[in-house]
Structure 1
Amino acid sequence: MLKQRLTTIRNAAIQEGYTSYEVRIGRLKKLDAILVDHQSALIEAADKDFNGRPAIQTRMEIFGALESIRYTTKNLKRWMKPDKRDVPFINRLTGASAEILHQPLGVVGVVAPWNFPYVLSLGALAGVFAGGNRAMLKPSELCPNVSALLAELIGEKFDKTELDVVLGGPEVGQEFCSLAFDHLLFTGAPSIASHVMRAAAENLVPMTLELGGKCPVVVSDSGDLDLAVDRIMWGKVQNAGQICLAPDYVFVPQRYVEEFLSRAREKIAAWHNKPEHDAHFCSIINDRHLQRLQGYIDEAQEKGARVESLKTSSMSLPGRQIAPHIFVEPADDLGVMRDEVFGPLLSLKGYTDIQQVIDYINLRERPLALYYFGSNSSELDRLKKYTVSGGMSVNDIATHASCETLPLGGVGHSGMGAYHGYHGFLEFTHPKAILKQKKISMAKLFNPPYTKRQSKILDKLIG
């Protein structure tokens, strides 16, 4: 059934041919309207699926999706112009010219995750539609209310040959990833990505993988410790830390370990100092993930690790809410240090030398993001050049991902390919090389039969 749906969309794309600027803008405006006109319904659906998600956090996500769509809308006409390229001297003699036409790929499959169901579906489609493509969207079964609402709203705005929403569980997801798309965008866990790649490989489908991993933070002696604590803990309470770009473990100068912990406790207490502030905590998406997070805490405590809960006396944390916890100097064999945490649990490690930090990071899988708090240009330069990560924010958390002029993507274990803004337009188009030759051609000089004169010309050209 899904194969037939894809065939229908592909036939429509072939019949349309090169997608006009007006059609692309029209599709982008439909995405914009869905997000703006249905904010209340989108907020309510996310709140139901999470069993408690602050409206402000969902509205921030909606804003992020709109930023991608509107930046793309503003710049699309310029991006669509062919790129003029230089030609070799010998071709210039005959008046040849060269350009790159960014051609639509066709039909792009988009697998969206549950943690940011709007920005990683409708926001991601900005680049897909900018490239002139049509799409099939598979939202996550872990957020059924959001997925059903997206299917309804998209069905009202889009013809199914433009954008088709596929609902279902893991079996449907597996079938979806096995389809012969012209490109597949998958956002999710590295453990699932290997299965997605295997399925896509059967049809040689090119992919963009937006994964995650353990994003490290380095706080320098030269840094503002209060600013660092504020931004790091913000990254841990937003969406309850269920963010691929969330800080996972923090290196601070050894003498600041206790002060960092003390300030983190004060920060959480200031943000959530009344019982009604429980509603400001985002819940964990389901019981399985809640048990997984509690398992990290239980394992660490059983093995004698120091685990500090930042829960205050005013917090009741009903349902699937969990207070932020800090693991102080955890052993590397603990689950919280092996796995991507994806929750409000943070590990804290002291260090004495920046090279010690660099070596530690480089011995592990390459992260989606690296964060540095400080003003030491030498340290920053070493971290930029001698560690490898998908992106980097300095004196903040994850802000590089909200800058549409920068690519968002991982490297190695944290993903492949990148999108956002112009980089999304490039990711979802084919750069077709075009060389225009005039009637006069240097090729005639080298037609058979071959002569000494041709050899002499080549002698001069080669040197």
Structure 2
Amino acid sequence: MTFATATQDNQQIFTMQRLFHAQRNEYLAQTMPDYASRVTQLKQLKAALLENKDALCDALSADFGHRSHQDTLLSDILPCVQQINYTIKRLKKWMRPSRRHAGLLLMPAKVEVIYQPVGVVGIVVPWNFPVMLSIGPLIPALAAGNRAMIKLSEFTPQTNQVITALLAAIFDDTEVAVIEGEADIAAAFTALPFDHLLFTGSTAVGRHVMRAAADNLTPVTLELGGKSPTLIAPDADMPQAVERMIFGKCLNAGQICVAPDYVLVPEGKEDAFIAEFKKQFTQMYPQGVHSQDFTSVVNQRQFERLSQWLAEAVQNKTRIDTVHPDAIDLGAHRMVPHLLVNPSDSLTLMQEEIFGPLLPVITYSNIDEAIQYIQQRPRPLALYLMTQDKALQARVKSDVHAGGMAINDSVFHVAADDAPFGGIGPSGMGHYHGKEGFLTFSKAKTVLTKGRINTAKLAVPPFTGWRARVQKLMMAFFLR
């Protein structure tokens, strides 16, 4: 790092710290924004997204080298708009204090839970869905009455420009501020004493984020990833099973934290799976790697990572089937899915989240073996089960841990507005989306209110005379 670059970084870190303190001061001046002001912010955000949807599609395509506009509309813009609509309809109910039971021991009293904004929220955004993963968390943060600082990825500069301009047209920096920069800036960002920090990214970086947050006792929501399995059961109709999972692997060229990372198929059915995958891929993307509806790997660095993992598999004599003759475009860093049959567990692609168009196909002899295969590995962010067997559905739902699950589908469970999204263990912690997002960015504060009558005096010393007799009766009544 040159002296000039270091100086520039220091100036940026100083500006970032100044913005944080400005947001904190403004929050302290207005700690509980009313319903009307929150809804106004959300409506303005929705209008700005719709007004800039074409600019965002163009910018994302420029950042990726090529990204299907439909991918952006479906996975970045649409979920945000739907989430805003859902939130506006339900926000008034979420904001109401909830009445709780005081119980006989505390009577007469009233107990309620009020939902306060936590304060200043930090949001760290990855490169794969920079709109959905910046605006998506911002929606519940604003709905809960907070202010927010957003650290955008350095790998999506064109999209960052549109997002920054979009937000600046609606919000003052003391309401929503956008930060850009590389690893040093990201590290300084996560070290700020936020009231809540939401990070979306890799498990390895998530560990660093959690360490940085721990110094400030900042609560964290970590949306990580991992190796999300697709289990095709023996009873599954293969064309239907492939139909339900192929789009989840091909959307954004598989660069999704909930994309199917590997697929488990019954022994003897791997060739049927591969043939069906090739058939359906060709129907969806007739020109293979040159299809306009198929997205590029985001940059040369990620393309080289995937290429190295593929070369390692070739060297290991792994069977590899490309799903289309036009499979790779080196200059445009584009790659169609490659299916790898029973690759060795020692390969890098079997140890780390793939995050791209490589798909291991693992065969199993019986369903118990398949379930154990999943259970013996780190808990994934998503789990996909292809079966019509109700007993098997119930078994996997109850016995196998994952952040979320879809039966006879893939990826689309994330789009459920009225359900939480989050990981477990190495795939993350905490939830957002829907009401859970509102709760994540709120402090649920219990308030006990008493009037003139104070029964608590019966529980204080000295425990002699009549007090002792009352205490004895109370304990006899309640300790049973």
Shorter-chain TM-score bucket reads over 0.9
Partner of 1:9: 23
Describe the shift of the 1:440–1:420 C-alpha distance in structure 2 as closer, same or farther (beyond 3 A).
same
State the SS of the aligned residue for 1:288.
Answer: helix
State the SS of the aligned residue for 1:240.
Answer: helix
Any residues of structure 2 matched to 1:272-287 within 5 Å, and which?
Answer: 272-274=285-287, 278-287=291-300
Any residues of structure 2 matched to 1:234-245 within 5 Å, and which?
Answer: 234-245=247-258
Partner of 2:7: none
1:44 aligns with 2:58: yes
| Cα shift readout 1:402-447 (whole Å, capped 9, x = no counterpart) | 0011110000000000010001001110110011112112112234
TM-score of the two chains, using structure 1 as the length reference: 0.97
Contact 1:354 1:379 in 2 (8 A): no
Question: Shift in Å at residue 275 of structure 1?
Answer: 7.3
Partner of 1:80: 95
Partner of 1:379: 392
Give the AA of the match of 2:343. P
Q: CA RMSD in A?
A: 1.5
How far apart in 2 are the matches of 1:144 and 1:242?
18
Give the AA of the match of 1:369. A
2:411 to 391, 398, 405: 398
Question: Shift in Å at residue 284 of structure 1?
Answer: 0.7
Contact 1:239 1:283 in 2 (8 A): yes
1:437 to 431, 450, 454: 450
| Cα shift readout 1:130-181 (whole Å, capped 9, x = no counterpart) | 1110000111111011112211221111111100111111111111010000
- Give 4+ residue runs of structure 1 displaced > 3 Å after superposition: 274-277, 313-318
Any residues of structure 2 matched to 1:97-112 within 5 Å, and which?
Answer: 97-112=110-125
Partner of 2:106: 91
Unmatched runs of 5 consecutive residues or more in structure 1 = none
Partner of 1:454: 470
Give the AA of the match of 1:460. F
State the SS of the aligned residue for 2:134.
Answer: coil
State the SS of the aligned residue for 2:446.
Answer: strand
How far apart in 2 are the matches of 1:404 and 1:344?
27
Contact 2:379 2:426 in 1 (8 A): yes
| Cα shift readout 1:53-111 (whole Å, capped 9, x = no counterpart) | 0111111120011111211111100110111111211333x2x1111101100000000
1:292 aligns with 2:294: no
Give the AA of the match of 1:69. I
Partner of 2:227: 214
2:426 to 413, 427, 443: 413
Unmatched runs of 5 consecutive residues or more in structure 2 = 1-13
| Cα shift readout 1:232-276 (whole Å, capped 9, x = no counterpart) | 221121100000000011111112111001111111122222479
1:252 to 238, 260, 265: 265
Partner of 2:240: 227
1:65 to 67, 80, 88: 80
1:182 aligns with 2:198: no
Contact 2:206 2:222 in 1 (8 A): yes
Percent identical across equivalent pairs?
39
Give the AA of the match of 1:120. L
Question: Shift in Å at residue 277 of structure 1?
Answer: 5.3
Describe the shift of the 1:59–1:153 C-alpha distance in structure 2 as closer, same or farther (beyond 3 A).
same
How far apart in 2 are the matches of 1:218 and 1:169?
38
Partner of 1:144: 157
Any residues of structure 2 matched to 1:108-127 within 5 Å, and which?
Answer: 108-127=121-140
How far apart in 1 are the matches of 2:416 and 2:326?
38
Contact 2:328 2:334 in 1 (8 A): no
How far apart in 1 are the matches of 2:34 and 2:208?
36
Describe the shift of the 1:315–1:332 C-alpha distance in structure 2 as closer, same or farther (beyond 3 A).
closer
Contact 1:273 1:314 in 2 (8 A): no
Question: Shift in Å at residue 278 of structure 1?
Answer: 2.1
Describe the shift of the 1:97–1:179 C-alpha distance in structure 2 as closer, same or farther (beyond 3 A).
same
How far apart in 1 are the matches of 2:142 and 2:400?
34
How far apart in 1 are the matches of 2:413 and 2:425?
19
State the SS of the aligned residue for 1:123.
Answer: helix
Give the AA of the match of 1:240. A
Contact 1:367 1:388 in 2 (8 A): yes
| Cα shift readout 1:277-335 (whole Å, capped 9, x = no counterpart) | 52221011111110110111110111111111112259868511101100011111111
How far apart in 1 are the matches of 2:156 and 2:311?
27
Contact 2:106 2:456 in 1 (8 A): no
- My pick for the range that moved more, 364-373 or 144-153, is 144-153
Contact 1:269 1:312 in 2 (8 A): no
Partner of 2:47: 33
Give the AA of the match of 1:124. P
How far apart in 2 are the matches of 1:461 and 1:374?
51
How many residue pairs match? The answer is 461
- My pick for the range that moved more, 343-352 or 443-452, is 443-452
Partner of 2:357: 344
Describe the shift of the 1:326–1:358 C-alpha distance in structure 2 as closer, same or farther (beyond 3 A).
same
Question: Shift in Å at residue 398 of structure 1?
Answer: 1.4
Give the AA of the match of 1:11. N
Give the AA of the match of 1:9. Q
Give the AA of the match of 1:208. T
Partner of 2:6: none
How far apart in 2 are the matches of 1:254 and 1:99?
57
Describe the shift of the 1:228–1:65 C-alpha distance in structure 2 as closer, same or farther (beyond 3 A).
same
Any residues of structure 2 matched to 1:323-362 within 5 Å, and which?
Answer: 323-362=336-375
State the SS of the aligned residue for 1:157.
Answer: coil
